[in-house]
Amino acid sequence: MDHAARIRQRVLALFLPAAAVLYIGAEALTPRGADQVITTTATAFRLLAIAGRHPAQLYLAGSLALLGLGAVAVSYAAIAALVRGRGSALATTAALVGGLGAFCGALVNVLVFPNLAAAATAHMSRGAAAQFLVTTFSSGFGHGFLYAYLVGQYVGPVLMGVALWRSRSVPRWLAVLFFVGLEVAQQASSAGPVVILYMLPFAAAMILLAARIWQAAARPANSGLVSAGGPVPSPSGREEDGEIRDTPSRPGGGLANGAGHAVPMPEPARREAAPYGR
């Protein structure tokens, strides 16, 4: 891995804790009961009353939710880069499903937060605002992205958790913590700052995975490489697989082992001279 690739991998690692902070902040700032899908006029009237009292809070929570879901989408790709060999194909599928689901979730949250705040503060009657919200959520646009969000929300963490478990690239307890923490965080409803307690496992998993990605970027470029003639030797006289190799140590052709001690060379076998005339 060259220097530019290491920098890119470390930038991706930063998205994981950023996603946790943004996601938790959005849930903590959302007014109680405001994160609902509006499918009936009665629900619209109730949420319009909440949004009318907290429009600025809704705009802020909505902004954090959009940025958080975007960071979650990038985080899926970053976590998938940890998986090598066994489970790599499953991790790629998880990154695709989870990332697409998070993107669709961001679009759905535009309807939930900014749309609701704008309808509550617009100069229109409550009935017209309620009808507008119901129509928006009931449209093909709303249903399509909502269903895609729900699929990615449930399937993405499952696939990625299984991929991490199978690959053993991280401890298996961390794979379980990621799956459980993300599922709990996605199901958390707006209940004020107390929701932070339910989302702490999610934050812990993202921070620990980010540390793993950061450490993977620090590995030397020739780690695990094999030359055409065999393992790549290290300056200490040990091959990359840990075996001691002999290296020249003296002008006369003597050899030294990995510890630097001289190794005696056996005398070459002498051929007996044939009798003269034969």
Taking only the tens place, the pLDDT of each residue in 163-172 is: 999 988 899 9
Q: What is the pLDDT, as a whole number, of residue 268?
A: 55
Q: Is 231's pLDDT higher than 50?
A: no
Q: Is 230's pLDDT higher than 50?
A: no
- If we measure between CA atoms, which residue out of 91, 209, 250 comes closest to residue 159? 91
CB distance 196 to 24 below 8 Å: yes
- Mapped onto helix, strand or coil, the DSSP state of residue 29 is helix
Q: What is the pLDDT, as a whole number, of residue 233?
A: 47
Region 221-246 average pLDDT:
45
Other CB atoms within a 10 A radius of the CB of residue 134 amount to: 17
For residue 237, which phi and psi values (nearest 5 degrees)? 90, 10
pLDDT per position as a tens digit, 89-101: 999 999 999 999 9
The pairing of strands 247-248 and 255-256 is antiparallel
**Residue count of the chain:** 278
Q: What is the pLDDT, as a whole number, of residue 192?
A: 67
pTM reported for the whole predicted model = 0.73
Region 148-166 average pLDDT:
93
Distance CA 66, CA 157 (A): 19
Distance CA 85, CA 52 (A): 53
- Residue 44 CB-half CA count within 13 A: 22
Region 107-132 average pLDDT:
88
Other CB atoms within a 10 A radius of the CB of residue 131 amount to: 15
Cα–Cα–Cα angle for 66, 71, 77, nearest 5°? 140
Where do we find the tokens 């003269």? Answer: 276
Region 226-232 average pLDDT:
42
CB distance 80 to 68 below 8 Å: no
The pairing of strands 262-263 and 255-256 is antiparallel
Distance CA 48, CA 55 (A): 10
Where do we find the tokens 């959009």? Answer: 66
